[in-house]
Amino acid sequence: MAVRILWADDEIDLLKPHIMFLEQKNCEVDTINNGSEAIDMVKEKSYDLVFLDENMPGISGLEALTEIKRISPNLPIIMITKSEEESIMESAIGKNISDYLIKPVNPHQILLAVKKNTDQSRLISEETTSGYQQEFRNIGMKLMGNLDINDWKELNEQLVYWELQMDKSQDKSMMEIFEMQKKEANLLFARFIENNYLDWLNGTSDETPVLSHTLFQKKIAPSIKEKPSFLLVIDNFRYDQWKVLKPLFSEYFDVTEEDTYFSILPTATQYARNSIFAGLMPSEIRKRFPSKWVEEEDEGGKNNFEEDFLNDQMKRMGLGLKTSYTKITNNQKGKKLVDNFSDLLKNDFNVIVYNFVDMLSHARTDMEVIKELADDNSAYRSITESWYKHSPLQEIVQKIHENGLQLIITTDHGMIKVSNPVKVVGDKNVNTNLRYKLGKNMSYNTKEVFEVANPDDAFLPKLNQNTRYIFAKEDTFLAYPNNYNYYVNFYKDTFQHGGISMEEVIIPILKLNPK
């Protein structure tokens, strides 16, 4: 299909060689010699691109630009001018032009501008497809090897990179191939966790990653000793979501360290986030704080004592810092923190737990509107970006920057879109989480789950002597036989956490310094 171009220039007759060149490259070019008629042409016809001379008699190019954008806001407009005045460039850019060319221009410059602004999505798609085709074999070879902790972290980053590139691509068949490769990677990652996790916890492994209960000691404490800092814990925040938000943070901060660590199991807030703040595994927290550990079957919030756990850990570490802790669970609380931000500047260390992303992921199963908005991983990343841009959190981040403070960002776990049910038979005392379960009377296929028969081995609380834990792997979810079809249809293709996948386990820890 030919590219439809409108070219407005008071010296249009001198540009006939350029126009003939474009017509040879499958472009249809309408020409006009003034801004007023250019506006009328845009009203009458549909164009893919407009070339607009800045200096025309009567209505100037900048004036015409304003009117054309009002008529067709998404129409790409390329401003062409003889002037190199910075003020003119800034005015044109401020009016949302797509490109800016300075005369004299040659035909190849014009063609490049056309392709960049009308054919970009196809070119990106083709380049992405070609690049991933070359990388597909390399990733496959990696998966055949004996990967260690750092290999898995690097592979996760690699897969996230290609998934974000696929967002820009139009090649659905290539995306299907990518999803198959990611599924294979998650299958092998689950085996890696099964083979190594208990050894990590019990000191019988040659290498152990930073885990939830060692995160503060190894990654956070060394930084907050040096300078006043904020720790932002965004609940349920995946590495791919960080990569989408990174450009927004980079407007104000230099990212001095971008790393990932491993969540403990279950990868659920009650366990993982309490472990971060306590610097202890769940059974150790329960033993040290018997009145502050809330069992699975108990009513009420299960993360109500994070500030106490944090203060206890800092005391054990000898960190005599003046500290604050704030939990944000809705927009109103976020706005209140913005209004009272100056109070935080009195402290050496401020912790902010932001729960919105977690609430959004749970809403994914409860609200039809959210189901429509966050239908897949790409949409979920997009809605996260939109939320951040319009949330009090962005204002908080800006204030941290304005006051020249270090910002550390992390999370307690990620989440995965679940698709395949695994049957579990259990009594009424078995918990309801879809990605992990604990109880004494459970029946399941041991090949389909990661089983911890003795919770002591995983430093997990026992409800009784026969308590076992099981964890869903890859993109599975644990379903009861009762009302099985209804249960499966309701939770299929929802975002959940608590089990074993790269998306849930390998999660970001970031250090940012203000620009």
Tokens at 281, concatenated: 């595994």
The mean pLDDT value for 305-317 works out to: 97
The per-residue pLDDT for 95 is 55
Report the percent of the chain where pLDDT is more than 90. 57
Q: Which residue has the higher pLDDT, 423 or 92?
A: 423
The mean pLDDT value for 154-178 works out to: 86
Report the DSSP pairing between strands 77-81 and 99-102. parallel
CATH dotted code for 3-118: 3.40.50.2300
CA distances from 26 to 62, 112, 424 (A): 28, 14, 61
For the cut 90, the answer to whether the pLDDT of residue 370 exceeds it is no
Q: Is the peptide bond before 104 cis (omega within 30 degrees of 0)?
A: yes
Write the pLDDT tens digit of every residue in 107-135. Answer: 888 888 888 777 765 655 667 777 888 88
The mean pLDDT value for 36-64 works out to: 88
For residue 469, give the H/E element and its range.
strand 468-472
For the cut 80, the answer to whether the pLDDT of residue 1 exceeds it is no
The per-residue pLDDT for 134 is 81
Tell me the angle at which helices 35-44 and 61-71 cross, rounded to the nearest 10 degrees.
10
Alpha helices in 72-119 (DSSP H): 86-94, 107-118
The per-residue pLDDT for 114 is 84
Write the pLDDT tens digit of every residue in 29-46. Answer: 999 999 899 999 999 998
d(CA 340, CA 415): 32
d(CA 283, CA 454): 12
**One-letter identity of residue 24:** Q
The predicted model scores a pTM of 0.81
d(CA 505, CA 412): 9
The per-residue pLDDT for 121 is 59
d(CA 191, CA 303): 30
Greatest mean pLDDT range, 22-36, 361-375, 449-463: 449-463
Q: How confident is the model at residue 81 (pLDDT cuts 50, 70, 90)?
A: confident
In terms of C-beta density within 10 A (0-12 exposed, 13-18 middle, 19 or more buried), how is residue 423 classed? Answer: middle
CA distances from 399 to 243, 327, 405 (A): 22, 17, 9
Poorest-confidence range of 124-133, 425-434, 460-469? 124-133
The per-residue pLDDT for 357 is 62
Q: Where in the chain is the domain with CATH 3.40.50.2300?
A: 3-118
The per-residue pLDDT for 366 is 56
The per-residue pLDDT for 434 is 93
Q: Is the dihedral of CA 439, 443, 448, 450 positive or negative?
A: positive
Tokens at 54, concatenated: 């800045």
The per-residue pLDDT for 103 is 82
**Other C-beta atoms within 10 Å of 104: how many?**
9
Poorest-confidence range of 5-9, 48-52, 428-432? 428-432
Architecture of domain 212-416+504-514: 3-Layer(aba) Sandwich (3.40)
Report the percent of the chain where pLDDT is more than 70. 92
The mean pLDDT value for 165-188 works out to: 85
**Other C-beta atoms within 10 Å of 425: how many?**
12
Q: Where in the chain is the domain with CATH 3.40.720.10?
A: 212-416+504-514
For the cut 60, the answer to whether the pLDDT of residue 461 exceeds it is yes
The per-residue pLDDT for 91 is 59
Write the pLDDT tens digit of every residue in 239-293. Answer: 999 999 999 999 999 999 999 999 999 999 999 999 999 999 999 999 999 999 9
Q: How confident is the model at residue 238 (pLDDT cuts 50, 70, 90)?
A: very high
DSSP state of 493: T
For the cut 90, the answer to whether the pLDDT of residue 63 exceeds it is no
SS3 397: helix
d(CA 164, CA 188): 22
Q: Which residue has the higher pLDDT, 158 or 357?
A: 158
The per-residue pLDDT for 102 is 82
Q: In the predicted model, what is the mean pLDDT of the chain?
A: 89
Please answer whether residues 472 and 436 qualify as being in contact, where contact means their C-beta atoms are separated by less than 8 angstroms: yes
d(CA 145, CA 197): 19
Contacts of 227 (CB under 8 A, 6+ apart): 405, 406
Q: Which residue has the higher pLDDT, 384 or 149?
A: 149
Greatest mean pLDDT range, 113-122, 358-367, 405-414: 405-414
HEC string for 271-308: HHHHHHHHCCCHHHHHHHCCCCCCCCCCCCCCCCCHHH
For the cut 80, the answer to whether the pLDDT of residue 136 exceeds it is yes
Q: Which residue has the higher pLDDT, 377 or 217?
A: 217
Please answer whether residues 350 and 326 qualify as being in contact, where contact means their C-beta atoms are separated by less than 8 angstroms: yes
Poorest-confidence range of 160-169, 268-277, 454-463? 160-169
The mean pLDDT value for 70-85 works out to: 80
The per-residue pLDDT for 97 is 76
The per-residue pLDDT for 363 is 52
**One-letter identity of residue 59:** I
